[in-house]
């Protein structure tokens, strides 16, 4: 009705554009100092829209981009380690997450644009996603936790073209956490994420071993092999149900069937992430409980491997048959070693 406040966001891009090199094939603008904890959400009717809480990445591509070209965006920490990689097209991680999609929670991935001229993307200040495995339903998803405040670099790569800039992610201004508390928070998040990643990898390998064992006994009528195989498959079946809830098929199933180890660890990671520093006593207690549970689960899987899978591979080695993967990352080589 002619009455409003007008705000021009990201004016810094226009200021930098005056000095941007005109002949660069790929140019990334330097984001300003960006605070964590910015509000998000959408406004209602006749309400303004909050600026995005994500770090804005504006860039210019001088020429048309081939259909098969991929724009890669790496975020590096102050030590030069890559903490997050994004791209302009679907990768294995996105395909896996889409394959695990729950009907009530459809997944819609977005990708960095590569049109000629001016483009905008963003970084949500999250670390790399938890590695996805097939045939698993984690309702909270595979998103990695937030990074710690600090200095970061964004590096764009398109074919032979690169452009990178440095910027700072600042602490949430509402937080009074000390540097030591923030460091402890970030390290704890990394520990929980590693536990979840290791558990999913071990589950994926255990399933692979089970498939390989099933293939062996389908091809060989051997009493010794069958006894070992039945015990191995039975053991993996029981172990799998402790790692993930196989009865979860849709969102409300969490109310009917207990969330198992993967979902419990994922929930703890999200709780620590959203709460911010400092870590509470309850979080530490829960982490200690889950850590002990993971130690016991790892030992169970090692026992299955030692008692059944290793003898199966001894049987396979003497007959020059395919070997079965050892869950936990070990495989048997051609000479019977690991």
Q: Are 188 and 277 in contact (CB under 8 A)?
A: no
What are the two backbone dihedrals, phi and then psi, of residue 62, each rounded to the nearest 5 degrees?
-70, -45
Q: What is the pLDDT of residue 184?
A: 97
| CB 62, CB 81: distance < 8 Å | no
Q: Say which DSSP state 131 is in.
A: P
Residue 331 structure tokens: 């495989």
- Cβ pair 163, 26 in contact under 8 A: yes
CA-closest candidate to residue 92, choices 122, 125, 48, 133: 133
Interhelix angle 261-275/281-304, rounded to 10 degrees, is 150
Q: Is the dihedral of CA 196, 198, 204, 210 positive or negative?
A: negative
Q: What is the pLDDT of residue 331?
A: 42
Residues ≥6 apart with Cβ < 8 Å to 260: 241, 242, 243, 244, 245
pLDDT of residue 334: 35
Considering only CA atoms, which of 154, 134, 113, 292 is closest in space to residue 211? 134
117 by DSSP, 3-state: which? Answer: strand
Distance CA 216, CA 212 (A): 6
Q: What is the pLDDT of residue 329?
A: 54
CA 210 to chain CA centroid, Å, is: 25
Return phi, psi of residue 57, to 5°. Answer: -120, 100
Task: At 122, give phi and psi (nearest 5°).
Answer: -155, 160
pLDDT for residue 8: 79
Distances (CA, A) of 108 to 36, 98, 127, 176: 25, 8, 19, 36
Q: pLDDT per position in the chain (338 positions), as tens?
A: 567 677 778 899 999 988 877 788 999 999 999 999 877 666 677 777 778 899 999 999 999 999 899 999 999 999 999 999 999 999 999 999 999 988 888 889 999 999 999 999 999 999 999 999 999 998 888 999 999 999 999 999 999 999 999 999 999 999 999 999 999 999 999 999 999 999 999 999 999 999 999 999 998 889 989 999 999 999 999 999 999 999 888 877 888 889 999 999 999 999 999 999 999 999 999 999 999 999 999 999 999 999 999 999 999 898 888 889 999 754 443 343 44
Count of residues for the chain? 338
For residue 334, the SS3 value is: coil
Alpha-carbon separation of residue 337 from 299, 308, 326, 333 (angstroms): 21, 16, 12, 5
Instruction: Tell me the C-alpha to C-alpha distance, in Å, between residue 203 and each of 88, 125, 196, 197, 333.
Output: 30, 29, 11, 10, 21
Rounded to the nearest 10 degrees, the angle between the axes of helix 261-275 and helix 223-243 is: 30
Q: Where are the beta strands (DSSP E) in 54-149?
A: 55-61, 71-76, 82-87, 117-123
What pLDDT does residue 40 have?
Answer: 66
């Amino acid at each position: 009705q002619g009455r409003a406040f007008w705000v021009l966001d990201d004016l810094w891009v226009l200021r930098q554009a005056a000095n941007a090199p005109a002949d660069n094939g790929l140019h990334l603008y330097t984001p300003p100092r960006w605070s964590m904890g910015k509000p998000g959400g959408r406004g209602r009717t006749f309400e303004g829209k909050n600026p995005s809480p994500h770090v804005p990445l504006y860039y210019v591509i001088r020429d048309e981009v081939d259909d098969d070209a991929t724009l890669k965006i790496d975020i590096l920490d102050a030590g030069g380690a890559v903490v997050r990689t994004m791209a302009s097209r679907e990768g294995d991680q996105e395909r896996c997450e889409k394959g695990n999609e729950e009907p009530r929670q459809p997944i819609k991935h977005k990708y960095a644009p590569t049109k000629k001229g001016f483009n905008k993307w963003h970084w949500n200040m999250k670390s790399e996603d938890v590695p996805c495995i097939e045939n698993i339903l984690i309702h909270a998803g595979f998103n990695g936790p937030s990074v710690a405040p600090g200095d970061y670099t964004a590096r764009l790569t398109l074919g032979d073209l690169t452009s990178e800039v440095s910027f700072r992610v600042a602490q949430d201004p509402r937080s009074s956490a000390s540097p030591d508390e923030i460091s402890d928070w970030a390290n704890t998040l990394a520990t929980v994420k590693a536990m979840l990643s290791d558990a999913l990898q071990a589950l994926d390998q255990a399933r692979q071993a089970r498939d390989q064992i099933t293939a062996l006994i389908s091809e060989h009528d051997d009493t010794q092999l069958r006894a070992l195989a039945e015990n191995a498959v039975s053991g993996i079946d029981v172990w799998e149900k402790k790692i993930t809830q196989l009865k979860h098929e849709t969102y409300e199933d969490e109310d009917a069937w207990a969330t198992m180890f993967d979902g419990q660890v994922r929930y703890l990671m999200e709780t620590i992430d959203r709460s911010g520093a400092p870590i509470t006593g309850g979080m530490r207690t829960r982490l200690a409980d889950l850590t002990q549970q993971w130690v016991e689960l790892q030992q169970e899987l090692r026992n299955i491997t030692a008692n059944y899978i290793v003898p199966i591979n001894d049987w396979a080695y003497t007959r020059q048959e395919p070997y079965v993967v050892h869950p936990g990352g070990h495989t048997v080589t051609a000479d019977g070693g690991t």
